[in-house]
Amino acid sequence: MWASNASMALVTCPSRAACACTSSPSISFFSQSNSYSSTESLIVRRASWRRAGIAGPARVLRVMATADLEKSGAGAVEAEEPVKIDRKTADWQKAQKVMEDGTIHRGRVDACNSGGLLVRFGSLQGFLPFSQMDSGRIPKDGSKALAEIAKELVGDLVSVKMIEVNESERRLIFSERQAVLEENLRLVEEGSVYNGKVNSVTDFGAFVDLALPDGTSSVSGLVHISELSWDPVRNPRDLLEEGQMVRVKVIQLDKERKRLALSIKQLETDPLLETLDTLMPVQTQVASEPIEQDAELIGTSLPGLEQICEELLNEEGITGVTLGRTRLEKRVVSQDLELWLANAPVEGGKFSLLARAGRQVQEVQLNTSLDREGIKEAVQRVIGRVP
């Protein structure tokens, strides 16, 4: 056999033009070892060359130890063109790059089985599990079985993302759900308002499917419990139910993590930004005399308001707090004491707040050197300190 220190080179047959062996190509092995004094020949048919993946007519090559080349006095060494990389190997490499780049692949569905779909990727077949199919394909009423849906997709093109590429284990796994989500997120704009349908309600909020501008796509986002209402919400199920139509605002769009944060309350007026005169017009104070029971309520101090006024005086920039107009509303907004800010700017060092609890509303006037934003921050700090 070959000596361990023998190096190898490829040369063309010296008499290639007139060589009689061109009709029966051969490879000759020459060893540096003295174990073999004669040449061993191996006849290789053209068909064998084709199976080996070598294009064009077979060429006669001698594989010789470098020392033998020197002894033979052979001159120039002509290298044979490299054998092309196996197509499947190349496709595995391409699949790996597609996954790393996060590219969406459009592949044809070749077939289906009991677990999912077989999707074409070049010379490879990848697997799309039913669990990774776009949920929009699956009717919630159960009118179609997964097997029926899968059969209808055979021959169609689907958009998928690669979520696993493992050449050694021959595993190529796709996700249509991730691809559809990424494509739909491109249609969503942060700050925009959409109609949506409540998909599910949980203890921490509600998932809403947005109806996107193209009329066919949808994408699901979360309305966190803190974004359901300006009023405290203990159980989201008290406000929403599955299938309910709502309007939501996109407040955060994370395309990298494929997450969508929505809000319902931000489509309503922030109580801290409410115009005081809208809720308490001056003329309503003299429009009619309150009935006896209402008069008694109006004369009652709002619980906790005195403590809040004292805390406001502890805020830097607030030098005076006095109580102003009072009135009763027709309905109970909240039994808890709330503070709202007027929309009007600070004028002459004066600014008005609105305290409310139950049906009772009380104006609170501030003497301050703060601007409106500074007052809002001061009020929020006070609310955080007062139990």
**Helix locations, the chain, DSSP H:** 46-51, 66-72, 87-101, 146-153, 176-185, 276-279, 284-287, 292-298, 305-313, 372-385
Per-residue model confidence (pLDDT) at position 241: 92
The DSSP secondary structure of 156-176, one letter per residue, reads -EEEEEEEEEETTTTEEEEEH
Q: Terminal CA-to-CA distance of the chain, rounded, Å?
A: 92
Look up residue 53 and give its two tokens: 């993946």
Does 100-176 match 188-263 in CATH topology?
A: yes
Per-residue model confidence (pLDDT) at position 66: 38
Fold of the 188-263 domain: OB fold (Dihydrolipoamide Acetyltransferase, E2P) (2.40.50)
φ, ψ of residue 99 in degrees (nearest 5): -65, -45
Per-residue model confidence (pLDDT) at position 165: 95
Architecture of domain 100-176: Beta Barrel (2.40)
pTM for this one? 0.48
SS (H, E, C) 89-132: HHHHHHHHHHHHHCCCEEEEEEEECCCEEEEEECCEEEEEEHHH
φ, ψ of residue 302 in degrees (nearest 5): -70, 130
Helix (H, G, I), strand (E, B) or coil at 263: strand
**Domain boundaries, given as residue ranges, for the chain:** 100-176, 188-263, 303-384
Separation of alpha carbons 195 and 198, rounded Å = 10
Per-residue model confidence (pLDDT) at position 36: 38
Name the strands in the sheet holding 350-358, side by side, starting at the edge strand that comes first in the sequence: 318-328, 360-368, 350-358, 334-341
pLDDT averaged per 10 residues, the chain (length 387):
39 42 40 39 39 43 38 40 67 93 92 94 94 82 82 93 93 91 84 90 92 73 90 87 92 83 87 64 46 48 86 93 81 73 84 84 91 89 83
